[in-house]
Amino acid sequence: MGPLVVAVLSGALATAVVPVGGASTSPSTSSLSQAPRGYKLSVDAVAYHLPGRTASGMPVGKGVVAVDPKLIPLGTSLYVPGYGKSLAADVGTAIKGRIIDLWMPTDAAARKWGRRTVTITVYP
């Protein structure tokens, strides 16, 4: 495999592999939609267990994450190691910068997770 070429197209990250001595093979538009490209971000993930609704109006639940919308826009898909696929759907007064809140189904689960640094994948 040759060097990796990275280009920004309409705000989305696309990659193309340039074979040694060959032409560039760019991914098609359909392959980009089938395999979303994300970027990694190290954050402090804090667990909580409270009932209610998010800032976007949806009920809290598994996979609902509170973020700083200046860093991660609401509606963004995320993958959090140890937690799973998630959606940035809430904000919080203590959520500033590289901190996210993860909803847990019980107080015990929230205490078990606690606060830890994880490297999430953000799918813009």
Give the pLDDT confidence of 48-71 residue by residue, as tens digits.
Answer: 999 999 888 889 999 999 999 999
Q: Looking at the 3D structure of the chain, how many domains does it have?
A: 2
Q: Domain check: are 47 and 85 in the same one?
A: yes
Q: Domain check: are 63 and 118 in the same one?
A: yes
Q: Domain check: are 97 and 44 in the same one?
A: yes
For residue 27, what are the CA distances in angstroms to 8, 31, 46, 77, 88?
Answer: 13, 6, 37, 21, 27
Q: Domain check: are 19 and 70 in the same one?
A: no
Q: What is the pTM of this model?
A: 0.69
Indicate if the pLDDT at residue 91 is higher than 50. yes
Strands 115-123 and 39-48 turn out to be antiparallel
Which residues pair with residue 85 across a beta bridge? 79
Domain containing 22: what range? 4-34
Mean pLDDT of the chain: 79
How large is the average pLDDT for residues 11-34? 42
Q: Domain check: are 70 and 24 in the same one?
A: no
Q: Domain check: are 66 and 22 in the same one?
A: no
Q: Domain check: are 28 and 84 in the same one?
A: no
The tally of CA atoms less than 13 A away on the side-chain side of residue 114 is 4
Q: Domain check: are 9 and 66 in the same one?
A: no
Q: Domain check: are 56 and 114 in the same one?
A: yes
Record the tokens describing residue 52, joined without a space.
Answer: 């209610």
| CATH number of domain containing 50 | 2.40.40.10
DSSP state, residue 52: S
Q: Domain check: are 24 and 76 in the same one?
A: no
Q: Domain check: are 54 and 23 in the same one?
A: no
